[in-house]
Chains A and B, each alone.
Chain A
Amino acid sequence: MSVDELTKARSIADSAIATMQRYEIPTTPANYAIWYEYHAGQSPNLQRTIDVLISNNAAFNENTLQDLYATFVSSAKEAQAVREISTHALQTLQDIVGIAALARGDAEQFGNTLRGFASQGLGESLGNLKSLIETLVQESQNMAGRTEYVGLRMRESAGKIEALERNLESAILDSTLDGLTGVANRKSFDTIIRKSAGEAMNSGDELSMLMIDIDHFKKVNDTWGHQTGDIVLRHLAQTLQKAVRGGDHVARYGGEEFAIILPNTDGKAAVSVAENIRETLAKEPLVIELTPPITPTTVSIGAACYDPGEPLAEWVGRADAALYSAKRDGRDRVELN
């Protein structure tokens, strides 16, 4: 490889790493291959598809990344033979990285190796790809050696691999859930709200949102400590889950704020759901013995019905404004905007 080619490859690699960081994409070998191709500009179809995803603010989730890899990277005609081997190796590596991330956080080390490799300059030639794979395999073996959870024997034992795959799946599932409360996290809320609003725009069905905030939550933390604060958050999350129907979506929006997406629900019905939540909290308060005794949790709730064609941020803003009104007017109440 000439000096010029090396410089070019290095700059592509740097761009790929930078883009992955920007969109919070895990630095697995397969993902790296996608973004290297994207920046190398050798695959116009990959580029156009990714540009569509970016321009629509779509999330680069696990499925999307897998599809990009399967559609554009692994099926590239050139280097088919090497890629077949590498796809297999990459898949195994991905599993190990996923499990290691789950168990130990060793993936960071792996990411560093990848970054180190990138800065050495990875060309498009087959020899380079091959040596990349070899280095990565070596590194992954080192990683596996350091982790009692992922032994070297894992690839020999089908049963073990199956168990590991289940763990991977649950890791993927977990990444959409809030660790403390078990409801959807903010990231998956953003996906849910888009999907629900898209369907409502097509069908013309009503769609509403509740924004729920715990009253005087700071006082809970200050008086009884953060552990109690966490218990209060979990109790509220459970109450919200019980108050909604199967197709509704409860999410932790941030701090002590929760959001619920209610399909097929107009503003008036959304207010009844909100009132029901308030009443349930009053009827079934959190029971824990503390000194001084803990004040029962109340919430303020803002409701807003989606107006198809309005920007989603505007809809969320209206629910937030209603929540603010509820707070301003004395808390422990529901406002519709």
Chain B
Amino acid sequence: MVEIVLNSINTGADGGLAPNAIPGLCLLVDDSALVRKIARKIFSGLGFETDEAENGQIALEKCRGRMPDVVLLDWNMPVMDGLEFLKSLRHTDGGREPAVIFCTTETDVDHIQRALANGANEYLMKPFDQESLVAKLDMVYYRK
């Protein structure tokens, strides 16, 4: 799966990235160390550089330091939740650029609708696995 995806990036078959392009920086925002670990493994396998934050506030500081290309974003977190982070991010300099994928156990229409309305590019329901995560990445990043 990893090979197939990397292959399609390198060939740029569907107007994707240029040959040999580096996939970029992915910021993993989740208060669960386990979720970050699983996501880190998948993104690293795809060639991404990864950074992590355990809540929205830390994530926002990291974004102000260096804007990531992709953000995998949990909803329910202490200090600052995912939606608050997203709203602030989109009003930060350069903050409209990153592809934001919400990644949460919330599955109802209200959450999905609010995420999209506030600038999320995609929405992934937990539990995720390599295949479902790559499918979302394909929608918002590789085809961008």
Binding site for B on A (CB under 8 A): 45, 48-49, 52-53, 55-56, 58, 63-64, 67-68, 71, 194-195, 197-204, 308-312
Contact = CB atoms under 8 A, between A and B. Distances in A.
Nearest to B124: A56
B131 interface: yes
B117 A45 contact: yes
A243 to B, nearest CB: 26
B135 interface: yes
Given A64-B108, A202-B32, A203-B32, A49 B126 contact: no
Contacts of B130: 309
Interface of B: 32-35, 38, 41-42, 105, 107-110, 112-113, 116-117, 122-132, 135-136, 139
A204 B32 contact: yes
A201 B123 contact: no
The list of the 7 closest CB pairs from A to B, nearest first, reads A67-B109, A198-B126, A309-B38, A198-B105, A197-B127, A56-B125, A204-B34
Given A52-B122, A67-B110, A310 B129 contact: yes
Nearest to A196: B127
Nearest to A55: B135
A67 B109 CA distance: 6
A49 B123 CA distance: 9
A309 B131 CA distance: 10
B116 A48 contact: yes
A175 B72 CA distance: 35
A55 B137 CA distance: 12
Given A52-B112, A64-B108, A204-B32, A194 B117 contact: no
A68 B129 contact: no
Contacts of A45: 113, 116-117
A68 B109 contact: yes
B18 to A, nearest CB: 27
Contact of B33 (A198, A204, A310): A204
Contacts of A198: 105, 125-127
A201 B116 contact: no
B129 A309 contact: yes
Contacts of B109: 49, 53, 64, 67-68, 71
Given A52-B122, A201-B35, 4 more contacts: A55-B139, A308-B127, A309-B41, A312-B127
Contacts of A309: 38, 41-42, 127-130
A68 to B, nearest CB: 6
A71 B111 CA distance: 11
B129 A53 contact: no
A310 B33 CA distance: 17
A71 B113 contact: yes
Nearest to B41: A309
A333 B108 CA distance: 40
Nearest to B129: A311
